[in-house]
């Protein structure tokens, strides 16, 4: 067996994940576009997906490879199901791994059974790709802090029940002056509004007007919140790539089915060399991306040097999300107008596939991470 092949158990896991996801499609259909589907979140919890993500409270127990397999399988069936699971994981991972006993007691069981919706609040109007420049102020009030400022483009906002919030505790120190906090969605002084987006992904804006947080709400260490954010993204960036691979695979499957059954020019579309070669390009991009995702996840699970983990995660996210954009667009081109009809699976994928090239680090940021690793690595070798 070649080293990149999935084990029989892993293949069975993906098949079972897809089978269960199909069962949940009626729950997806009952939801509202751009809104949190709480019934769906409870359903994915009942099916065990959330427990599979974060069964334990120790970071060493979270297997990035398993997360990637799950996200790929779910995305190949329904982006809504995949997104519900992924957003819950992203929003809760920091405090489930590094939160205080109080935070775990208040939120762990509710997050894992899907009765409390979690969200990851990092982006701000003036701090997107440059996350270290965030300005949400955490002003000391003696025994705790008061949060003042705004977050935007926050998934599951403003209706989440609990947020992982990154705030500046030391002005002017960029990454070394940021602290992560657990903030309840019903905290006094916390308000928000929904943002209508191209995809059905729920996003919103949050305003903090003196929201009170205490020592029990700190995630990790005071002034070390940027590391919490980056360690979280090291896990989720490869799995964003897995999400993209799942979408791309779904698009390719649709394109193959259409081009091998659609009569044209005395045969079927796939008989045309231009069409056949396009399918080959699509499959090659998907397989390459899949292997990069698996490589990055394996590096995370093996506990290799964090700089290398970040490097591999950046490559995986960059290549997989860019490839998915290409594959979905190519599938739309092969099917023609029908693919853009409202309600068609490709029309849905065409809207969904654009966002992953931006969130959790835009493609340009991934290229910067990759190039910095290469140049710093070369400098170390020269020395």
Contacts of 19 (CB under 8 A, 6+ apart): none
- How many other CB atoms are found less than 10 A from the CB of residue 122? 24
DSSP string, 182-250: EEETT-TTEEEEEE--SSS--EEEEEEEEEEEEGGGEESSTTBHHHHHHHHHHHHHHHHHHHHHHHHHH
Q: Is 360 labeled as catalytic in the residue annotation?
A: yes
Q: For tokens 């991934």, what's the residue?
A: 366
Q: For tokens 């729920």, what's the residue?
A: 202
Is 21:78 a contact under the CB 8 Å cutoff? yes
Instruction: Pull the structure tokens for residue 229.
Output: 């954010």
SS3 (DSSP) at 173? coil
Closest to 41 in 3D by CA, of 23, 24, 64, 20: 24
What distances in angstroms separate CA 311 from CA 121, 284, 295, 359, one per listed residue?
23, 22, 11, 17
- The catalytic residue among 82, 360, 364, 381 is 360
161: number of CA atoms within 13 Å, CB side?
Answer: 15
Rounded CA-CA distance 44/21 in Å is 9
DSSP state, residue 4? T
Rounded CA-CA distance 42/111 in Å is 10
Closest to 212 in 3D by CA, of 263, 272, 143: 143
Contacts of 91 (CB under 8 A, 6+ apart): 117, 118, 119, 120, 155, 156, 160, 162, 163, 164
Rounded CA-CA distance 209/202 in Å is 23
Rounded CA-CA distance 95/218 in Å is 9
Positions marked active-site: 360
């Amino acid at each position: 067996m070649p080293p990149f092949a999935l084990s029989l158990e892993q293949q069975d896991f993906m098949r079972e994940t897809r089978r269960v996801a199909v069962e949940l499609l009626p729950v997806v259909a009952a939801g509202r576009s751009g809104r949190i589907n709480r019934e769906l979140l409870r359903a994915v919890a009942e099916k065990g997906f959330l427990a599979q993500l974060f069964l334990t409270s120790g970071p060493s127990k979270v297997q990035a490879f398993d997360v990637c397999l799950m996200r790929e399988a779910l995305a190949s069936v329904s982006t809504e199901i995949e997104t519900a699971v992924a957003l819950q994981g992203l929003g809760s991972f920091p405090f489930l791994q590094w939160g205080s006993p109080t935070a775990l007691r208040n939120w762990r069981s509710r997050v894992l059974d899907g009765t409390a919706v979690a969200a990851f609040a990092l982006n701000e109007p003036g701090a997107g790709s440059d996350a270290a420049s965030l300005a949400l102020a955490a002003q000391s009030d003696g025994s705790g802090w008061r949060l003042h400022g705004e977050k935007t483009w926050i998934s599951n906002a403003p209706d989440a029940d609990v947020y992982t919030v990154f705030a500046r505790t030391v002005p002017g120190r960029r990454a070394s002056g940021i602290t992560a906090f657990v903030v309840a969605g019903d905290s006094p002084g916390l308000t928000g509004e929904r943002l209508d987006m191209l995809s059905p992904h729920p996003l919103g804006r949050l305003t903090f007007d003196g929201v009170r947080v205490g020592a029990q709400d700190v995630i990790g260490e005071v002034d070390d919140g940027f590391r919490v954010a980056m360690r979280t993204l090291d896990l989720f960036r490869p799995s964003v790539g897995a999400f993209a691979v799942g979408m791309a695979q779904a698009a390719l499957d649709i394109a193959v089915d259409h081009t091998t059954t659609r009569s044209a020019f005395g045969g079927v579309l796939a008989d045309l060399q231009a069409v056949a070669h396009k399918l080959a390009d699509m499959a090659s991009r998907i397989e390459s991306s899949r292997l990069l995702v698996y490589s990055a996840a394996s590096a995370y699970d093996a506990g290799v040097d964090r700089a290398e983990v970040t490097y591999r995660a950046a490559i995986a996210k960059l290549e997989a999300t860019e490839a998915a954009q290409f594959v979905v667009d190519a599938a739309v081109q092969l099917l023609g107008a029908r693919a853009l009809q409202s309600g068609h699976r490709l029309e849905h994928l065409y809207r969904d596939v654009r966002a992953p090239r931006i969130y959790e680090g835009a493609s340009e940021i991934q290229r910067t991470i990759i190039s910095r690793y290469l140049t710093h690595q070369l400098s170390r070798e020269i020395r």
